Amino acid sequence: MSSRADVLVIGSGAGGAPTAALLAEAGYEVLVVEEGDMVRQGDAVPFSLDQMDRQYRSGGVTAAIGRPSIAYTEACCAGGGTEINSGLYRRPPEDVIDRWRTEHDIADFDTAEIYAICDEVEAELSVQPIPGTATGASEALKRGAERLGWSHDEIPRWMTYSSTDVASGRRRSMTETYLPRAVGAGARIETGTRVDRLVVSDGRATSALLSDRQGRATTVRFNEVIVCGGAIQTPALLQRSGLRHRIGRSLAVHPTVKLTARFGDELNVPDDVPVHQVKEFAPDLSFGGSASSPGLLALALSDHWKLFGSAIEDWRNLATYYAAITSEGRGRVMALPGLRDPLVTYRLTRRDRALLGRGLARLALVMLEAGATEVYPAYRDAPIVRGRRDLAAMQGTFGVGKASMMTVHLCSTVPMGRRPKVSATDSHGLVNGTRNVRVNDASLLPDAPGVNPQASVMAVAIRNARRFIERSGS
């Protein structure tokens, strides 16, 4: 079986959805192929195991190999990561845009233009602060930072609220915004369909080999293809298609360590996350709150379950927090023949390790100042921290090799720009050595921006989609 499309967009997340919407609205005949399913909001409880099963790749369990290994999560559903994350939105900081433009020699990468696109995105997604007061876990983080005199702020989210109750929020994810726009302009979306590889010859891709859940193979022929599968799947697909030059070699993430804090009062909200972050040490180090459903709490306590495990009975008084760093380390994504998922590796530097240890201790200090009675750091054989003197014992025994490291921000595996020996695409996502294979997702970001990268992904995707439309003069 085979079909045809003018433009094939692979993936429907923060990169693919805006790309499909803009191209369809400009008159292109667009086909979006999405490996995951369409799950309407409200059908799955946020941060639940059911959601992990339905909307995450491999049930949310994937890891980058290394010492230590770093667990990462990827979405696998229509709308991608925007459907399952906390909806927190941060524009790329100005110094990050400057760094990308200068160090990676990205042409036409104008700060004012990027910010004008951010304005559009923020209107489209209703990016706003929460109405009323934040959750107890969020307020605790803020209180601790205030007592230490450390700077903190509230991260706005792509949410609309029908009342001043935070719980009335409805996320303006891709399935609520850019994907309906794309469909409204005539784009077709095929979910549950995976792209196995592109057929490329002489730098021109002509068709994609697809398979559905039952393993039935189909072919799509196209004029243009735009790969938006995210920083792991995009390079893996390109590699499977024979495109390997500088692809998948520079994975950048924000490595994260966690702790769980126990308070005298009930503060757990299982289906929401804190909106406050501590930015005193930004961009090197940021603290925030994690999803803290009972299942995830148990996971966060599992590193020293013998000592920490009984706390779970008091789960309403517990909340999990993270310390995330900007990392000097880099990783690799390698598609291996015969394996469905690529091998991902990541290596931390000495500075990264030191910063993670100090970061976890500083985060624990915030929690003590916030009034936590006990803090449970997420690393093997960690002590319970009840006061400042315990922080010394904690830092004395911490090692990243023992920690449950994880990340949700994956970038930079197909970096754009004109930097010798590094850039894998031109300044607008056209893969080097090809005439019609483009990338338009987190893979393009030259490094991890030190803030939630999704706003950067959308801004870059819209910029590149516009450029594509202008240049090909549809």
Partner 1 sequence: MKDPPDITIVTGASGWLGQALLAALTDPADPYGRAGEIRALATSKPEGDVLGRSPGVVPVVGDVRTRAGLRDLFDGLTGSVDVIHAAGVIHPGTVSDFVEINTRGTQNVAAAARAAGVRRLVHVSSNSPFGVNPHPTDRFRNDEPYHPYMGYGRSKMLAELRLLDEVGKGLDAVIVRPPWFYGPHQPARQTTFFTLVRTGKFPIVGDGTQRRSMVYVDNLVQGVVLAELAEAPPGRAWWIADERPYEMNEIVATVKSALANAGLDVTDRQLRLPGVVGRMAQAADSIVQRSGRYVTQLHVLGEMDKTIACDIAVAEAELGYQPAVELGEGMRRSIVWCLDQGIAL
Q: Which residues are catalytic?
A: 409
- 301 binding partner 1? (CB under 8 A): no
At 208, is the secondary structure helix, strand, or coil? strand
| Residue 388 interacting with partner 1 (CB under 8 A) | yes
User: Does residue 151 interact with partner 1 by CB under 8 A?
Assistant: no
As a whole number of angstroms, the distance between CA 74 and CA 3 comes to 29
Angstrom CA distances, 322 to 255, 271, 417, stand at 10, 17, 32
CB of residue 365 vs partner 1: minimum separation in angstroms? 5
> Given the rule CB under 8 A, which of 3-11, 21-29, 148-156, 451-459 is the region that contacts partner 1?
148-156
Helix (H) or strand (E) holding 278: strand 276-278
Report the amino acid identity of residue 372: A
Among 1, 123, 338, 389, binds partner 1 (CB under 8 A): 389
Applying CB under 8 A, does 394 fall inside the site for partner 1?
yes
The DSSP-derived string for 373-386 is: SEEEESBTTPPPB-
Least spacing, CB of residue 433 vs partner 1, in Å: 37
Is residue 399 within the footprint of partner 1 (CB under 8 A)?
no
Task: Convert residues 243-272 into a mask of x (bound to partner 1 by CB under 8 A) and - (unbound).
Answer: ------------------------------
Please tell me whether residue 150 binds partner 1 under the rule CB under 8 A. yes
Does 361 interact with partner 1 (rule: CB under 8 A)? yes
| CA pair distance 87, 157, nearest whole angstrom | 5
Position 48 contacts partner 1 (CB under 8 A): no
d(CA 115, CA 110): 9
Q: Which residue has the tokens 């927090």?
A: 321
Q: Specify the stretch interacting with partner 1 by CB under 8 A; choose among 69-77, 277-285, 453-461, 463-471.
A: 277-285
395 binds partner 1 (CB under 8 A): yes
The one among 391, 406, 448, 462 contacting partner 1 by CB under 8 A:
391
Nearer to partner 1, 52 or 360 (CB): 360
Q: How far apart are CA 78 and CA 85, in angstroms?
A: 13
Using CB under 8 A as the binding rule, whether residue 107 contacts partner 1 is answered as no
Neighbours of 299 (CB within 10 A): 17
What is the 3-state secondary structure of 287-355? EEECCCCHHHHHHHHHHHHHHHHHHHHHHHHEEEEEEEECCCCEEEEECCCCCCCCEEEEECCHHHHHH
Residues 424, 245 contacting (CB under 8 angstroms): yes
Inter-residue contact 431 to 238 (CB < 8 Å): yes
The answer to the question of residue 124 lying near partner 1 (CB under 8 A) is no
Q: Which residue is associated with the tokens 């920490």?
A: 308
Nearer to partner 1, 14 or 366 (CB): 366
Is there binding between residue 364 and partner 1 (CB under 8 A)?
yes
Q: Does 386 bind partner 1 (CB under 8 A)?
A: no
Interaction of residue 146 with partner 1, rule CB under 8 A: no
Instruction: State the minimum distance, in angstroms, from the CB of residue 354 to partner 1.
Output: 4
Q: Which is closer to partner 1, CB of 117 or CB of 325? A: 325
| Neighbouring C-beta atoms of residue 308, cutoff 10 Å | 22
Residues in touch with partner 1 (CB under 8 A): 148-150, 280-281, 284, 351, 354-355, 357-359, 361-362, 364-365, 369, 388-389, 391-392, 394-396
